[in-house]
Amino acid sequence: MIVIDLIHNLTILIALTFLAGLIEELFKKDTTLNLVMQGILFGIVTIIVMLNPFTLTEGLFFDGRTIVVGICTLFFGPLSGIIAAVIAAGYRIYIGGIGLFTGLLTTFGAVLTGYITYLIRKKTNFRFTLLNLYIYGLASNVVVMLLFLTIPSAFRGEALSRISFTVMVLYPLITVIAGKILSMQEDKKSYNETIKKSEEKYRAVHTNAPIPFFTIDMQGKILDCNPEFIKELEFSSDEAVGKNFIGFMNAESKMLFEKILNELNLKGEVQPVELVLIKKSGNYIIIILDAKCGNVRKDLPEIIYCVFKDITKQKIAENELILAKEEAEESDRLKTAFLQNISHEIRTPLNGIIGFASLLSEKDFDKENIKLYADMILSSGFRLLTLINNILDISTIESGNLKINYTSLNLNSVLRKIYNRFFSEASEKNLKFTLDLGESDEKSNIESDLSIIKTVMENLLDNALKFTNEGSINLSYNFIDDKIILKVTDTGCGIPDSEKDKIFNRFYQVDMSISRKYEGAGLGLAICKGMLTAMNGTIEVTSEQGKGSEFTVTIPLRKKKKNNDDFILNEKARAEIRKILIAEDDDAGYDYFKLVLEKNSIEVERAFNGLEAVEKIKNDKSINLILMDIRMPVMDGYEATQLIKKMNPAIKVIVQTANFTDEDRDKAFESGCDGYLCKPISPYELYSSINKIYNDI
């Protein structure tokens, strides 16, 4: 009977331990609420236990309540123990009877033994084992047995003989079972807490790590990544996880990463490697990736743990340093080459000048060769002058003192003159030299800097002629989208790819050796580039070695506002000019000037040759300006100008001629002319020249 009751109590106790575990899940361990709840739960269980007691006589019964309150105190401390004991005592008082005093004593006695053991455990931190639970069970029930001595003497003997075995043998065993279940729950709970804490710790490291950290499987698929990774690549975690890491790389890095994966699969680790990743925005970053294989547990497959460091800024700075170093070395090389070059470029013409001048100064010099010597001195002088001009130009550009002078000009006319200037040189080298004007004369009136256009085109043609020994040279232009596109194309030696950018650096020449066959100081293209940049223009080259080159110049197009500007005569000129004499043997030439001048209602007269011009001046005092052709029958323009200027220096003479060399020009001014125009002459050029003469008075 007692045994059945005990089994009943034991079942309740086991149910109780599970409920205790549940409460502890719901409320945090060691919180007062948890302790109170445990006390109430164990207290209720004492009542249940008391509902099914082993009764000796009315008011004297035995049950497992001492086990319940004892275990409660042992596991949850004095607060829970006392609450459970008070509930048990309350119910026991309610039942009353002769065993009440002993009942209360044993209940609080169990609390005491529980509490003492609780304190020992707190101090020594021992773990519950079957043995120490049994010792506790035995000790607490010895106390209970001792307290049973307070049972009224009439029942004491029978009571002790009937329940001693149960209390001393079965109660300790029940205590062991209940204690073990509770201690296992306690262990599980603390294990879970340890796991949770370690998980939290791992998460915190993962989330707060100041470097991008991620894991991939052995094929490169991203399994997990931290916020730094997301920040670097700008993809959200959803967009990154599940994708293959290789998908974030440029082509070169992809190949490298495939090798790394193979190595990781074989060896489990690799040396840090540099990769280029492409962010969501399309920008790239350069990283150093460090990766190693590992697994969470031995029974789980291996994965790859990766971290990387963004070294983009470092790399850019490194490259800049390398570039700066290369530039410094290049500049040093250029300086040496320039000094050798410039010395050669100065000495060679000086040699010519001094050599031929000393030949001329010999007493018995060969008089027949006087022209040849003089020509040699002149050409050496011009070569020296070009060099000095180039040095002056480059220093003006580099000091930032280059001024842009926008004036109205007719591009067709400017290019025709440049073309004419180079034509004979090209013919001498048997080169086909062509000019393609992309726009009509009328449309080619623009505003630009004449001197820059001339310098740039002359430098390019100079080079084309210098570096082309057979084939052709072409000069062309057209207007595209508010830009003037000028091209100089040749079939010369061409430029190697590696040199195409460098040739625009000052002093740079593809062949910088002492034995080089082309003259030049390496300044022409640097001057072109400097001047064009100042005009917001560009210069580029396409070239194939051995086949030729094409230089393309782009200048912003500033069209002249009104075409009528071509025919503007300033006030002074309008007031001064009475009649203009056109000395021109060619009818078309005369008709053209007449038409252009009549736009301003200027009266004109014609002379067919120089002599007739002189006669007309003598007879017609109203003529005060002459447009004088040079090549005319009977008397040429130079002679006629000289005679007229002798007769009346106030008469203005503008020479208009097809001769364009510097010598022709000098000769014209020596004969006394006031202005000089090279055919073809646009209306704008004619009026500009007339206006200039009267402005200068």
Question: Which spans of this chain sit near ligand ADP (rule: CB under 6 A)?
Answer: 459, 463-464, 467, 490, 492-495, 503, 508-510, 520-526, 549
Instruction: Select from 603, 602, 601, 625 the least CA-distant residue to 613.
Output: 625
Q: What's the 3-state SS for 565-634?
A: HHHCCCHHHHHHCCEEEEECCCHHHHHHHHHHHHCCCCEEEEECCHHHHHHHHHHCCCEEEEEECCCCCC
Nearer to ligand ADP, 246 or 426 (CB): 426
CA distance 61 to 54: 5
Task: Decide: 163 and 54 in contact? Cβ < 8 Å.
Answer: yes
CA distance 72 to 78: 9
User: Cβ-count burial of 122 within 10 angstroms (0-12 exposed, 13-18 middle, 19+ buried)?
Assistant: exposed
- Least Å distance, CB 449 to ligand ADP, is 20
Instruction: Select from 398, 655, 367 the least CA-distant residue to 530.
Output: 398
- Least Å distance, CB 401 to ligand ADP, is 20
Nearer to ligand ADP, 490 or 566 (CB): 490
- Least Å distance, CB 402 to ligand ADP, is 17
Which phi and psi angles does 543 have, rounded to 5°? -160, 150
- Least Å distance, CB 486 to ligand ADP, is 14
CA distance 373 to 353: 9
Nearer to ligand ADP, 464 or 475 (CB): 464
CA distance 578 to 568: 17
Largest CA distance in the chain: 179
Which two structure tokens, joined as six digits, stand for 652?
């203005």
Which two structure tokens, joined as six digits, stand for 596?
């252009």
SS3 189: helix
Task: Decide: 88 and 69 in contact? Cβ < 8 Å.
Answer: yes
- Least Å distance, CB 331 to ligand ADP, is 16
- Least Å distance, CB 460 to ligand ADP, is 7
Question: Which residue has the closest beta carbon to ligand ADP?
Answer: 520
Nearer to ligand ADP, 113 or 491 (CB): 491
- Least Å distance, CB 519 to ligand ADP, is 7
Strands 273-278 and 407-410 come out as unpaired
Nearer to ligand ADP, 179 or 520 (CB): 520
Nearer to ligand ADP, 476 or 642 (CB): 476
Give the dihedral of Cα atoms 168, 169, 170, 173; nearest 10 deg. Answer: 110
Strands 445-448 and 483-490 come out as unpaired
- Least Å distance, CB 448 to ligand ADP, is 22
Nearer to ligand ADP, 120 or 384 (CB): 384
Nearer to ligand ADP, 183 or 459 (CB): 459
Nearer to ligand ADP, 496 or 680 (CB): 496
CB atoms within 10 A of CB 601: 8
Which two structure tokens, joined as six digits, stand for 282?
């399309």
Nearer to ligand ADP, 457 or 678 (CB): 457
Nearer to ligand ADP, 233 or 523 (CB): 523
Nearer to ligand ADP, 59 or 496 (CB): 496
- Least Å distance, CB 375 to ligand ADP, is 23
- Cα–chain center distance at 660: 53
- Least Å distance, CB 390 to ligand ADP, is 8
Q: What is the DSSP string of 296-361?
A: SSTTSPPEEEEEEEE-HHHHHHHHHHHHHHHHHHHHHHHHHHHHHHHHHHHHHHHHHHHHHHHHHH
- Least Å distance, CB 489 to ligand ADP, is 9
Nearer to ligand ADP, 64 or 522 (CB): 522
Nearer to ligand ADP, 43 or 520 (CB): 520
CA distance 476 to 113: 114
- Least Å distance, CB 272 to ligand ADP, is 44
Nearer to ligand ADP, 143 or 523 (CB): 523
CB atoms within 10 A of CB 140: 30
- Least Å distance, CB 487 to ligand ADP, is 12
C-alpha distances (whole Å) from 259 to each of 14, 256, 263, 367 are 61, 5, 6, 84
Task: Decide: 87 and 40 in contact? Cβ < 8 Å.
Answer: yes
C-alpha distances (whole Å) from 65 to each of 52, 83, 99 are 11, 13, 14
CA distance 625 to 89: 142
- Least Å distance, CB 483 to ligand ADP, is 22
Nearer to ligand ADP, 412 or 543 (CB): 543
- Least Å distance, CB 211 to ligand ADP, is 49
- Least Å distance, CB 423 to ligand ADP, is 18
Element (DSSP H or E) covering residue 542: strand 538-544
CA distance 643 to 649: 10
- Least Å distance, CB 351 to ligand ADP, is 19
Nearer to ligand ADP, 490 or 584 (CB): 490
Instruction: Select from 46, 52, 158 the least CA-distant residue to 104.
Output: 46
C-alpha distances (whole Å) from 111 to each of 70, 119, 224, 366, 571 are 5, 12, 53, 144, 128
Which two structure tokens, joined as six digits, stand for 416?
């025709």
Which phi and psi angles does 473 have, rounded to 5°? -130, 140
